[in-house]
Structure 1
Amino acid sequence: MTAHHANVAPSSALDSACRAFSVPQRIQASSLERSVLSQGQHGTHPYVDGDIAHWTFGLGPRVLLVHGWDSRGSHLAAFVEPLLRAGFSVTLLDLPAHGDSAGHLSSPVHAGRALASLAQALGPIHGVVAHSLGSAASLWAFAHGLEVNASVHLCGPSSLSPMLQLQALGHGLSPDEQTAFVTWVENHIGIPVAEMDLVALKHGLRHAGLIMHDPADRVVPFAASADLQRQWSDAKLIELEGLGHRRILTDPQVITRSCALLSGVRRQEATA
């Protein structure tokens, strides 16, 4: 994990930043989440970075639920029953190195590639509901061939460059260390950071979207969602007060609005 750069002696701060970017905490499902998962059809998707665990509920057009960093698919379990009632099938997945999926390293690009691979294996995807890292992964997947009719983005980073700047500041990196950090990240994700910025990804936003974010979110700045809405003509942005970064996943209003978008687009598709 040690980050070396030609002009920078390795530092604990730089190593810490690299680790924070690439090694998620593996969170165990709660007993309540396990009981929800036990009602779904469990599967594993063979994938180059290690098998991806997923669970599918119900029948109908498929909606994928995509979790954030240091999280797992079952953290979006509150969406399952309302989406089933709305006539959808629902698939939760654990991204690489998260939950019950294999692997030790991850990133928005690792997550995006895994999401695209699973979606291709599962067949047509009506919509995606994605939180935080899952939103960034979805933007990558949309720009690289994943087609959906609608997607919902909750507190998601829309460009990688500003998130790396925030992470560098949070770890107290010097200017030279910041340069080394970006170089290390590019080696880790296998592409230039600019290819994970909105300018390079926005061509994938060809469907209806709903963006929801608390302006007081301390994990992902609200500006990321404002930028996303500006670049996405068919998306609506809703400011949500008092939900922070994670409470948004269980808020009844958020779930209702998400279901309404996915159902409304489905009705339009049916009459088109």
Structure 2
Amino acid sequence: MTTTDSDGPYTAIRQAFSMPKRVAASDVQLQALAGAQRTVLDYHGVDLVCWTLGSGPRVVLAHGWNSRGAHLSAFIAPLVAAGYSVTLLDFPGHGESGDAASSVVHMGRALLFLCQSLGEIHGVIGHSAGAGAALWAFNHGLEVTASVHLNGPSSLSPMVHGMAAGFGLDAAQAQAFHNWVEGFIEQPVAAADLPILKRGLRHPGLIIHDADDKVVPFAAAEALNAAWAGSVLIQVSGLGHSKVLLDPQVVALSVSFVAGNRAACQAHRATDA
């Protein structure tokens, strides 16, 4: 079957992969940014907006798809209280940053650019696609002391295959979509898969994932944990894909881990098991 731009499912899947929806920040999230230093960086001609609060070693918060930096605002006050400066950004195509198109690889490139602009980075806390972006950035030179991955993917190929199946593409359309993705991200899809990305995992990592996540399957967390010798996997339940960002225990464990209290996270994992 020949695939053309007029083919509805094919056009729709390309838009779903590359065109995130901009969502507004809540009043609570905006209040968390009150007093923050707002910075606009020139990212290849596109405005990349970020906010910084607190002082001390820097922790960067990386949001997910169809989201914005302020959605991780629950982590700000605990990190600042623990003696860290916190920088959160809106990825391209999200929030207040420019551009319309994006992807987990585009997000990874933007995260790497931001961190290189900021200087030394102590840690990264990423949710969903933001966690995947962090994996990409680690493999391309970003060095941190610790990172936290919340309901994040570990490989791009399953996402591409899953989207093709979900949109009902036939074999020819699925291959055409795969080829289009590689052109869009300007690299092979396999280059954003765990066998390659694990080369950048040279620091301790905390993986927290809801067993019933309907967006990113728990198997992604299990695969990441298996490939990452320095990681701890904590399984949670009842939080779904996004409520993990508001759970006090998840926030406390994340802050504790980046602060170096990894024994507490290990103990929590053992208790859950």
TM range (shorter): over 0.9
Q: 1:14 aligns with which of 10, 13, 21?
A: 10
Partner residue of 2:73? 77
Match in the other structure for 2:156? 160
Does the CA contact (< 8 Å) of 1:49 and 1:103 recur in 2?
Answer: no
Q: Which amino acid aligns with 1:64?
A: V
Cα distance per residue 1:150-207 (max 9 Å; x no partner): 0000000100000111111111111111001101111110001000001111110000
Indicate the residue corresponding to 1:237 in structure 2: 233
2:177 to 178, 181, 186: 181
**1:132/1:156 contact within 8 Å kept:** yes
Give 1:49 shift. 5.4
C-alpha deviations, 1:206-264, integer Å up to 9, x for none?
Answer: 00000000110000011111000001000000000111000000100101100111111
Give the Cα separation in 2 of the matches to 1:32 and 1:243: 20
Residue of structure 2 equivalent to 1:45: 41
Identity over the aligned pairs, expressed in percent? Answer: 51
Q: TM-score, normalised by structure 2?
A: 0.93
Q: What is the aligned-residue RMSD (CA, Å)?
A: 1.3
**SS, match of residue 51 in structure 1:** strand
Cα distance in 2, alignment partners of residues 144 and 214 from structure 1:
28
Q: Within 5 A, what are the aligned runs for 1:113-128?
A: 113-128=109-124
State how many pairs are aligned: 261
Moved >4 Å (runs of 4+): none
SS in 1 for 2:61: strand
Task: Please list every run of 5 or more consecutive structure 2 residues that lacks an aligned counterpart in the other structure.
Answer: 263-273
What are the residue-to-residue correspondences of 1:123-142 with 2, within 5 Å?
123-142=119-138
SS where residue 38 of structure 2 aligns? strand
- CA–CA separation in structure 1 for the residues paired with 2:53 and 2:174: 44
Counterpart-to-counterpart distance in 1, 2:4 and 2:38: 46
Q: Would the aligned equivalents of 1:49 and 1:96 in 2 still touch at CA under 8 Å?
A: no
